[in-house]
Amino acid sequence: EDQVTQSPEALRLQEGESSSLNCSYTVSGLRGLFWYRQDPGKGPEFLFTLYSAGEEKEKERLKATLTKKESFLHITAPKPEDSATYLCAVQAAGSGGSNYKLTFGKGTLLTVNP
Amino acid sequence: NAGVTQTPKFQVLKTGQSMTLQCAQDMNHEYMSWYRQDPGMGLRLIHYSVGAGITDQGEVPNGYNVSRSTTEDFPLRLLSAAPSQTSVYFCASSYSMVYGDTGELFFGEGSRLTVL
């Protein structure tokens, strides 16, 4: 069974204080690992897809990295508008139904204070 | 482009009532899905569809029915509502889950359901 564990559950930062969020995963074969951002009362919004160990993706103050067992979402010099819940999900490789399902973690609630 | 539109945004039901959550997308996506999100739990897949006329079960399908008669619409039916179905429901769509950049789901804004 695919599993995704995110840590910490909540993180409070001061504006400009860089940090990282962790996503550990267990999957029989990884097709892709995904990061989403969710604002209160809204649906998740796609951020990144990572396909193989060593891959990195960047978008503004966010950088996602991937190893064989975990992914990190690095936040550099965060601003209050980066406050949100960040969700990690995995898609298993293989045939049939496994292709069509994402397994999500519980998320990390990030609060950035001005 | 409206993206993924869900209605209603809020609904209160009594135990045993039935209802349909509507989902429509205008991006010509083949893949559509329904997730539920509960406090302290990740998003969990209820049902999904890979095209008109094709549906399949996800992780938590019991108590829910779906159908896909058109590419645009993917309604979720609660047959006999139970308090355990109190949740926030999200519809999501994607161009493809097996070709190209998979996993990029476009989510609706959610439907908040309370079952008394």
Q: What is the pLDDT of residues B69-110, one digit of tens each?
A: 999 999 999 999 999 999 999 999 998 776 666 668 999 999
Which among B33, B38, B16, B46 has a CA at the least distance from the CA of B86?
B38
Question: How many whole angstroms separate alpha carbon B61 and alpha carbon B1?
Answer: 30
- The answer to whether the beta carbons of residues B79 and B63 sit under 8 Å apart is yes
pLDDT of residue B42: 87
Which distant-in-sequence residues (6+ apart) come within 8 Å of A1 by Cβ? none
> What does the pLDDT read at residue B99?
62
The pLDDT confidence band at residue A13, using thresholds 50, 70 and 90, is: very high
Are A50 and A58 a contacting pair, CB within 8 Å?
A: no
Chain A residues with CB-CB distance to B9 below 8 A: none
> Are residues B95 and B89 in contact, defined by beta-carbon separation less than 8 angstroms?
no
Here the tokens at position B15 are 């135990």
Is-contact A44 A89, C-beta < 8 A? no
| Residue A102 near chain B (CB below 8 Å) | yes
Distance (Å) from the C-alpha of residue A68 to the closest C-alpha of chain B? 18
Please tell me which residue of chain A has the smallest CA distance to B34. Answer: A101
Q: Give the pLDDT confidence score for residue A49 in this predicted structure.
A: 93
Chain B CB within 8 Å of residue A78 CB? no
| Min Cα–Cα distance to chain B from A15, Å | 27
The residues, any chain, with a CB within 8 Å of residue A40's CB and separated by 6 or more, are none
Residue entry with tokens 């999501």? B92
Amino acid making up residue A33: L
Predicted local confidence at residue A97, as pLDDT: 65
Would you say residue A16 has pLDDT above 80? yes
* CB within 8 Å: A99 and B4: no
Q: Which one has a higher pLDDT value, B38 or A96? A: B38
Nearest to B50 among A49, A100, A104 (CB): A100
* Any A CB within 8 A of B2 CB: no
pLDDT for res B85: 98
Q: Which of A38, A46, A55 best probes binding to B when mutated, by most B CB atoms within 10 angstroms? A: A46
Find out whether B48 and B55 touch, Cβ atoms under 8 Å.
yes
Per-residue pLDDT tens digits for A73-103: 999 999 999 999 999 999 988 766 667 789 9
Which residues in chain B are closer than 8 Å to A107, comparing Cβ atoms? 42
Band (pLDDT 50/70/90 cuts) for residue B6 is: very high
Q: Which tens digits make up the pLDDT trace of A38-70? A: 999 999 999 999 999 999 999 999 999 999 999
Which of A8-12, B28-32, B73-77 is predicted least confidently? B28-32
